[in-house]
Structure 1
Amino acid sequence: MTLITSLLVLALQVGPNPSVISPLGTPDELRNRPERAPQEKSIEQDPAALWLAECLGMLPDQAARAHSLAQLRRNDSAGRDRILANHCLGLAATELGLWDDAIGAFIAARDDTPGDEMRAKARFGAMAGNAALAAQDLERSATLLKTARSDAQAAASAPMQAIIASDLARVLVATGQLEDALAELDLSTQLIPDEAGTWLLKATLLRRLERLDEAQTAIEEASTLAPADPAIGLEAGVIAVLSGREDAARTSWQSVIDLAPSSPEALTAQGYLAQIEPAAS
């Protein structure tokens, strides 16, 4: 693990989630982190690591201050110091809703990251793509996420590819490219088959495409992975009622109410139950 990647891992550990706009999940650097090489500096020995920890530590309560300090450091630095300054700048801009600043900072961090750090490039690109999505710039978001996915592929990082494919699918759904979005979700579930949220997205999209048998298979997979997730139970009921299985729909929606009675999904489930005939006594 190079020093830049180590500092990015540090950022994920001591600061807020870099994907506050659209969570990307745990990066594979954290899933399988190798031992630190003997020559690597510890955080106490490395001024850049200390600065990054301090900058991220200001978020979210002092986001404006972090934004200003990161701008100053970015303008007066180069190399990895500039990369880390743009990293914090992008996160601070995200907290403040300054989407153009966030996109620009993440792109700059991506472009300054060395070619042997493709996972870091991919992650910065994904962060830029999600910032563009938050700004409702769907075309730019799709372009950034496609580049990020290619960088993740070049890094041979299956988890990162899967996460970015799932994000790209959301953008494609928003632009009405449903079949292309489904292809991205197919890729994501192939690369990370144990991510319940992706199976839920896939089930919902298949239901919108009126492919109810496939939607049922996908929602069953999601439910197996996360049986207590109210969003999954809610969608399971929708798929069931559209398939003519009202009893199964009632069971799913009632389970949402029982498991998470104060959740928004429970309120929606109550509304759905009120719209169908009561079960025969």
Structure 2
Amino acid sequence: MDLVNRSRHIGGTGPAADDWARDAALAAVPQITLDAMIPPGTRVVVVAPHPDDEILTCGALLHLVAARGDAPLIVAVTDGEASHPGSPAWPPERLRQARTDETDAALAHLGIDADRVRRLHIPDGGVTAAAPELERQLAAIIAPGDIVITTWRFDGHPDHESTALACSAVARQCGARVLQAPVWGWHWSAPGDGAMPMSQARKLPVPNDALARKRAALGCFHSQIEGDASSGAAPILPAFAMERVLHPFELYFPDHA
């Protein structure tokens, strides 16, 4: 499938979580243990295009790594200030502060201190245009031997895709390894269409406690999960979208997928 040229439109409601749960290709994805995927002592660097992407992609993994005694680093590419364009209640400066606070609260549910976040302040919605600057900043953070986790390079959101490409470029230069996870790929693709590279994927099993913590962490993003009464806009991250990433596993693709 030519994913470069395929339309990856994020609209409507997309497939339900239950539809994905019945997908044969997803069911056939092999499992991998945490220690096999992230050897103990390895630094995990999660590069999130927007505040909440670190939870949507790998919130359970973050908790499991932290509980094991390793301290992951979260890199916030943007401040998420453009999520409510034209909203009287959510101007960009309010969103910047709110989404910072939401991230800190979410990470606390996972057992991670707020000082483990590095903020790059790339413009929300402008990651593609700022790709050289993003690569420059990431090159000062990512080190040889790191495992970098970010969004999928065909995720459908330009910020997600450009972040993945920047991570790949920097990792190749310094000898780090990249894993990618879908967020909106669960939405624009569909069970059975072959769009997501399940044959190359691995599943990290998520224990019940870690799944509960991931759910609680997502619940901290009030600016995203609640509607905007001032503009009548629906939630940016509706419940049906969150349910698609609350499987009893997290799905990861290798960098080239």
Regarding TM over 0.5, the answer is no
* Structure ranking higher in helix proportion: 1
Relative to the length of structure 1, the TM-score reads 0.29
* Structure ranking higher in strand proportion: 2
Relative to the length of structure 2, the TM-score reads 0.31
- Which structure is larger by alpha-carbon Rg, 1 or 2? 1
